[in-house]
Structure 1
Amino acid sequence: MAVPTGVLRVDALQILLTDRYASPVVVDRWERVEPWAVARIWLQSSAAALPRSVIVKWMPDGQREARTASWRLRTELAALQFLEEDLGIGLAPSVIAVDTAARFLVLEDLAPRVPLDQLLRRDGAAAHGDRLAAFARARGALSAATAGRVETYYARRAALGPVDAAADQAGRLAPLREKAIEHASALGVPLDGRATHELAAAMEELATPGPFLTLSNGDAEANNLLLHATGPADARLIDFEFAGYAHALTDAVCLYVPGPAWLTVGDPTTTGLADQYRRTLACGIPGAEDDRRYGYGLAAACVSWALVRLQRFALLDTRSPGDHSRLQLIATLEGAARTAETYRALPHLTTWIRRIAVVLRRRWPDADQDFADSARFPPYQARH
């Protein structure tokens, strides 16, 4: 079955794989993985080494620049090769082939593994405690394995084209925090005094992580972890298009604070996910065992994410009562504050964030809900 014109150059794929396996390869059929520029493609060939199916990711035409920027392809290629060839770890799919001119990557098909978020949406978090634990360990393992190898990664990445390591470390979403601070001021909760100093110190912690500088895939959420729905989890991380070295604890935020897909994530301390992550991380970063350093970095990362989400306030304020995004923003702010309080970090900044949440609850009575009510808001309840 031919892939529609403009989606993927099948001829280029067949030529590339024929070259790779020294035997004619033809596309048998394909299945688009919506909504991304990704497809599972079944192949035919007499080559014994050829896998029955592969995953192909490509840079589509006709979309906004962020979706077509060729640096995303180079970044994913560098990150996956770095993990497999330089570090020898099996946390991600293998690269089978690449055609930079046609802008696509051919990757190992990790089926029958499925995305963790699909299982959580279908069955709820209570049914997948072991898979959530595998998620926490995989996040910690990626950071532990890549700590101290920043020069090796960027040498590989630079060989493929220009890269801004400083932008990776600062975080591409960092500029959004300024807009969030403006929104807070407009709501009557200006950032001032000791909270201002604490925010500056927290951002400095994230910008200069020291031993906590590790590789992130850039999107540490449950949809980017594939594992088996039954039996041993055997987890793999995917989607490294925005990979780069940054503070390791930015990848732990997803365990404590809702990401874009969720209203709630539960308490990782009581579920054990916090310990699963931290113990794995400490295998490569002994400093993770230092409660003060670990707690401060985690609090800084959670606060930073909460501010990134707060910059959406103006959009959410126009939405109809009952919109889940309003609930999610309040849960995010309160989740970040709760994490900082747990680790006794950033007390003045935490007070400021809680004040913003209180103002939003008053402004949006529909969102003035009790997120501690696990019957109404169980862990990993999806945002609609």
Structure 2
Amino acid sequence: MVINVVEWTRLEPWRVARARTDRDETVIIKWTGPHASRVRDEPWRLRTEAAALRFLSEDLGAALAPRVLAVDLAEGRLVLEDLAPRTALDGLLRRHGAAAHADRLTAAARARGELGALTAGHAEAYYRRRAALGPVDPAADRLGRVARQRESGMPSLPGVPVPGGVEREFGAALAELAEPGPFLVLSNGDAEANNVLVHAAGPADARLIDFEFAGFTHALHDAVPLHVPGPGWLSLGGPAEGEVYRRALAAGVPQAEDDGRYGRGLAAACVSYALARLTRLAVLDGRPAGDDSRAQLVATLEAAARTAEGALPRLAGWCRQAGAALRRRWPDADVDFGALAPYTPRR
């Protein structure tokens, strides 16, 4: 497919632009360049996004993400369907608050669950498509952060000992995530609200974007932002969105209806995420008092503890102790999160 661009506008700060073609249609263009994480090389990311989006639209017939209109891997260019007038959910939450966008929050949670439901059991088909574009390691996709945590072990925090029972539950949590079984689904690799586009008014009609780090992994990784505040937030809403996600996922992964199995996976994913954030302790220590990143880490640990207290009680207790220790360490982070409005942004 030949697309002739007549004008374009870069969408800062990403290597993304909205372009107008000679047919007076708009498209989204993505191109390669250094990525802040430097975890994967540039061509790898572009190949992954092209494969994942074509897998969804062409192999599964799903309308959950933008369609690929053209791709030139040699030149490092990817042309995608423009999903406007949809806009990023996180921007709406920041501008108007969560109460104004309850329906859009629900739609976003449902879309994440539907992605898992539709892709469960199709890993081999995806990796055939992905491998045709270049080398890929399915085990690395599946393990992700888990591999690093297995190697480094439980993080340490002065004044918070790690008894053997906590270590054992930590190992059990990582084992749960490493072997997803029926919960092995495609994730875009970042299920935060900035990667969900919705209509600002009327039916939300949510779409998921940014599949550069896509891969098959444990479905409950994508549920974490519904239970634990991500980097941009100090608080979340109630449990409603989490249940919406679970019901949508269960349409393709019936094991999600098993309270015990689902609870173990969710607890493992939430605690794994929170402990990974704790490794930033030295960075946050160096920031000035009042920096919201400190309170955000406390909120993350305490939310993970609430989610895990039934399935991983020792790890949940350790996360609560860690949160309390950080409140003492950083008096500016001793915040009453229960008094905050849902989706209060981190400054």
TM-score, structure 1 as length reference: 0.87
Distance 2:37 2:273 in 1: 24
Distance 1:41 1:212 in 2: 38
Query: Aligned to 1:322, what secondary structure does the other structure show?
Result: coil
Paired-residue identity, %:
62
Equivalences for residues 80-91 of structure 1 within 5 A: 80-91=53-64
Following TM superposition, by how much is the alpha carbon of 1:26 offset from its aligned partner in structure 2, in angstroms?
3.9
1:79–1:212: structure 2 CA closer, same or farther, 3 Å change rule?
Answer: same
Partner of 2:247 in structure 1? 279
CA contact (8 A) 1:177 1:308 kept: no
Partner of 2:218 in structure 1? 247
CA contact (8 A) 2:35 2:42 kept: no
Q: Which amino acid aligns with 2:118?
A: A
Q: Which amino acid aligns with 1:194?
A: G
Query: Aligned to 1:372, what secondary structure does the other structure show?
Result: helix
CA RMSD of aligned residues (A): 1.7
Distance 1:151 1:67 in 2: 22
1:125–1:32: structure 2 CA closer, same or farther, 3 Å change rule?
Answer: same
Query: Aligned to 2:336, what secondary structure does the other structure show?
Result: coil
Following TM superposition, by how much is the alpha carbon of 1:284 offset from its aligned partner in structure 2, in angstroms?
0.3
Question: Which range moves more in the overlay, 175-184 or 112-121?
Answer: 175-184
CA contact (8 A) 1:91 1:237 kept: yes
Q: Please say if 1:199 is aligned against 2:170.
A: yes
Following TM superposition, by how much is the alpha carbon of 1:274 offset from its aligned partner in structure 2, in angstroms?
2.0
TM-score, structure 2 as length reference: 0.96
Count of residues in Structure 1 that have an aligned counterpart in Structure 2: 347
Q: Please say if 1:140 is aligned against 2:138.
A: no
Q: Which amino acid aligns with 1:83?
A: L
1:78 to 48, 51, 66: 51
Following TM superposition, by how much is the alpha carbon of 1:321 offset from its aligned partner in structure 2, in angstroms?
0.9
Runs of 4+ residues deviating >3 angstroms: 61-68, 176-183
CA contact (8 A) 1:180 1:311 kept: no
1:108–1:368: structure 2 CA closer, same or farther, 3 Å change rule?
Answer: same
CA contact (8 A) 1:134 1:233 kept: yes
Partner of 1:352 in structure 2? 318
CA contact (8 A) 1:44 1:52 kept: yes
Equivalences for residues 107-122 of structure 1 within 5 A: 107-122=80-95
Following TM superposition, by how much is the alpha carbon of 1:266 offset from its aligned partner in structure 2, in angstroms?
2.7
Distance 2:37 2:227 in 1: 32
The gaps in structure 1 that reach 5 residues or longer are 1-19, 46-50
CA contact (8 A) 1:119 1:229 kept: yes
Partner of 1:323 in structure 2? 291
CA contact (8 A) 1:180 1:307 kept: no
Query: Aligned to 1:252, what secondary structure does the other structure show?
Result: helix
CA contact (8 A) 1:150 1:214 kept: yes
Equivalences for residues 1-384 of structure 1 within 5 A: 20-21=1-2, 26-45=4-23, 52-60=25-33, 65-66=38-39, 69-172=42-145, 174-175=147-148, 181-184=154-157, 187-268=158-239, 272-341=240-309, 344-373=310-339, 377-384=340-347
CA deviation digits over 1:93-135, x for unaligned, max 9?
0000000111010000000000000100000001000000001
CA deviation digits over 1:183-238, x for unaligned, max 9?
32xx1223221111111011000000110000000000101011100111111100
Query: Aligned to 1:72, what secondary structure does the other structure show?
Result: helix
